[in-house]
């Protein structure tokens, strides 16, 4: 048959015809009947999809995003989650949460549905208050509430469970835990791009078939666990190579090894963690929603075509793009970065920015709504700050690497142009989700009670 039927109902109509008509249309009719049924099927598909969407719009679980505010107004709830699925669950559970208002079970459900925390420990603040020893119980020596200021980084990974004297300060992730009016929720920190489990690892092959769109010719599996083609999709369109994680894959994909991209074309990597990438002169590299340990631009001089790096929502440890053009949006760079010209927005730079491997000359460009260390160079651009963020860890490959800790200054946690967090995990909304849980809990606790969401690294991870 010369005509390929693309519509769902058109194919159903064509297959419902007797075989004699289909054979005659294929041989004598040149597929005109199939084309006619396909055009009818497209109209029927549109009618069916409209009716199906109208049915799905009757529930906040399946409706279109623009209808969620109307459902929220219907049940009288204010949605706070930064994610669409979180807002859906806020509306779906609004009545049940209101009926269970003030209970620890409801507090745990709110943290789970909005913050995505699978493992929580909920404790009432009065249990942290030192009490008089009883005859039928062991004597516990109480500790004194520490009212002195300390470096917030000293509290990361530390969980104090000893009883204290009453701490009357407003409870937060660090203070006011020994308070009868506090509800404490110990939650596992977000792991970022490096979870402890559900990681599939591959390695770059030393040589690849030139021009091959078969991902198995580019990568090799580790420990014979799985084929790359089962997890990674590779497409070549108009000279652009697209490497991306397949839809529906929940595992984290890690590609190890030093890869030299030999062809001066465009490479797009999406949701694939990389180790070391070497790009030649004239190559354009685009990264999105991933972590890369090192990016190196090779053999680039001012007299040759410049390579470019464009990254969006990425965690980068080191970038050495001498004589290269770099554009970063919602990225975190943990070490020093070298680039001939830099444009950045909503980023975090923990190290200095230099040009052409010359540490005495800062990289020019425009940086806005970002954290950096060179106020004299980029201080005239709107929204910048020099306040240093606090990460759970800066050790590459460790869970929580580059993830903003609640101890970070507000200029970083809400310093992006849209009011969200700066850096690599803007698209995941870690800080906004953390704050949404705290605000939501205040609405569902008894009057005078305050909730404190506390990171606890001893609990199982949260992706």
Q: Is the domain of 231 the same as that of 355?
A: yes
Residue 13 CB contacts under 8 Å (≥ 6 apart), including other chains: 37, 40, 41
Q: Is the domain of 288 the same as that of 209?
A: yes
Phi and psi torsions of 339, nearest 5°: -160, 150
Residue ranges making up the domain that contains 67: 60-99
**Helix-, strand-, coil-residue percentages of the chain, each rounded to 5:** 25, 30, 45
Q: Last residue of some domain: 316, 343, 378?
A: 378
Phi and psi torsions of 256, nearest 5°: -95, 160
Q: Is residue 385 part of a domain?
A: no
Find the DSSP H helices in 273-417. 375-378, 410-413
The structure's pTM equals 0.83
Q: Is residue 388 part of a domain?
A: no
What pLDDT is stored for residue 227 in this prediction? 86
Give the span between the Cα atoms of 289 and 416, in whole angstroms: 17
Q: Is residue 279 part of a domain?
A: yes
Digit-by-digit pLDDT tens for the chain (463 residues) are 566 888 999 999 999 989 888 888 887 777 888 889 999 999 999 999 999 999 999 999 999 999 999 999 999 999 999 999 999 999 999 999 999 998 899 999 999 999 988 888 898 888 888 776 665 655 555 555 555 555 655 556 556 667 778 888 888 888 888 889 999 999 988 999 999 888 999 999 877 655 677 888 888 887 666 788 889 999 888 888 999 999 889 899 999 988 888 776 889 999 999 999 988 877 889 999 999 999 988 755 555 556 789 999 999 999 988 778 889 999 999 998 888 888 899 999 998 888 766 665 666 678 889 998 876 555 557 888 889 999 999 999 999 999 999 999 999 999 999 999 999 999 999 999 999 999 999 889 888 889 999 998 888 766 6
Q: Is the domain of 279 the same as that of 337?
A: yes
Q: Is the domain of 91 the same as that of 146?
A: no
Label residue 197 exposed, middle or buried (CB < 10 Å: 0-12, 13-18, 19+): exposed
Q: Supply the DSSP string of 399-462, one letter for each residue.
A: TTBTPBPTTS-HHHHT-STTSS--STTTTTTHHHHHHHHHHHHHHTS-TT-EEEEEE-TTSPPB
Q: Is the domain of 46 the same as that of 85?
A: no
What pLDDT is stored for residue 27 in this prediction? 79
Q: Is residue 356 part of a domain?
A: yes
Strand partners, 331: 314
Q: Last residue of some domain: 99, 128, 154?
A: 99
Q: Is the domain of 338 the same as that of 217?
A: yes
SS3 assignment, position 265: coil
Q: Is residue 402 part of a domain?
A: no
Q: Is residue 92 part of a domain?
A: yes
Q: Is residue 432 part of a domain?
A: yes
Q: Is the domain of 291 the same as that of 342?
A: yes
The domain total for the chain is: 4
What pLDDT is stored for residue 219 in this prediction? 87
SS3 assignment, position 238: coil
What pLDDT is stored for residue 378 in this prediction? 54
Q: Is the domain of 223 the same as that of 168?
A: no
Kind and range of the H or E run holding 105: helix 104-115
What pLDDT is stored for residue 307 in this prediction? 73
SS3 assignment, position 393: strand
Give the span between the Cα atoms of 343 and 276, in whole angstroms: 22
What pLDDT is stored for residue 395 in this prediction? 93
């Amino acid at each position: 048959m010369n005509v390929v039927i693309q519509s769902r109902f058109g194919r159903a109509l064509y297959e419902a015809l007797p075989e004699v008509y289909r054979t005659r249309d294929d041989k004598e009719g040149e597929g005109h009947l199939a084309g006619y049924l396909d055009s009818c099927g497209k109209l029927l598909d549109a009618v069916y999809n409209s009716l199906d969407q109208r049915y799905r719009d009757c529930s906040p679980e399946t409706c279109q995003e623009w209808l969620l505010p109307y459902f929220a107004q219907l049940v009288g709830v204010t949605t706070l989650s930064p994610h669409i699925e979180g807002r859906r669950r806020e509306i779906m559970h609004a009545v049940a949460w209101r009926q269970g208002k003030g209970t620890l079970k409801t507090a745990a459900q709110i943290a789970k549905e909005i913050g995505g925390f699978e493992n929580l420990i909920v404790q009432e603040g009065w249990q942290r208050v030192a009490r008089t020893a009883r005859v039928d119980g062991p004597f516990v020596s109480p500790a004194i509430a520490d009212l002195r200021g300390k470096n917030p980084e000293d509290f990361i990974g530390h969980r104090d469970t000893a009883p204290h004297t009453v701490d009357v300060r407003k409870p937060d992730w660090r203070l006011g835990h020994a308070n009868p009016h506090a509800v404490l929720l110990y939650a596992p920190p977000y792991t970022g791009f490096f979870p402890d489990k559900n990681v599939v690892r591959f390695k770059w092959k030393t040589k690849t078939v030139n021009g091959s769109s078969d991902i198995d010719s580019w990568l090799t599996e580790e420990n014979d666990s799985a084929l790359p083609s089962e997890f990674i999709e590779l497409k070549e369109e108009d000279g652009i190579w697209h490497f991306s994680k397949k839809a529906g894959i929940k595992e984290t994909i890690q590609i190890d090894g030093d890869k030299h991209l030999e062809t001066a074309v465009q490479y797009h990597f999406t949701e694939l963690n990389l180790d070391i990438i070497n790009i030649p002169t004239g190559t354009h590299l685009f990264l999105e929603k991933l972590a890369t340990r090192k990016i190196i631009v090779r053999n680039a001089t001012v007299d040759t075509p410049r390579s470019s790096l464009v990254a969006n929502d990425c965690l980068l440890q080191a970038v050495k793009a001498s004589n290269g053009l770099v554009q970063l949006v919602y990225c975190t760079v943990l070490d020093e970065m070298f680039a001939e010209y830099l444009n950045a927005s909503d980023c975090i730079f923990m190290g200095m920015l230099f040009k052409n491997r010359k540490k005495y000359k800062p990289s020019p460009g425009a940086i806005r709504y970002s954290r950096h260390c060179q106020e004299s160079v980029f201080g005239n651009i709107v929204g910048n700050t020099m306040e240093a963020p606090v990460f759970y860890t800066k050790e590459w490959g460790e869970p929580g690497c580059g993830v903003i800790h609640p101890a970070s200054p507000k200029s970083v946690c809400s310093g992006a142009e849209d009011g969200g967090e700066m850096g690599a995990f803007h698209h995941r909304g870690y800080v906004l989700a953390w704050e949404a849980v705290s605000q939501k809990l205040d609405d569902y606790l008894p009057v005078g009670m305050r909730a404190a969401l506390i990171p606890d690294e001893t609990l199982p991870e949260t992706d």
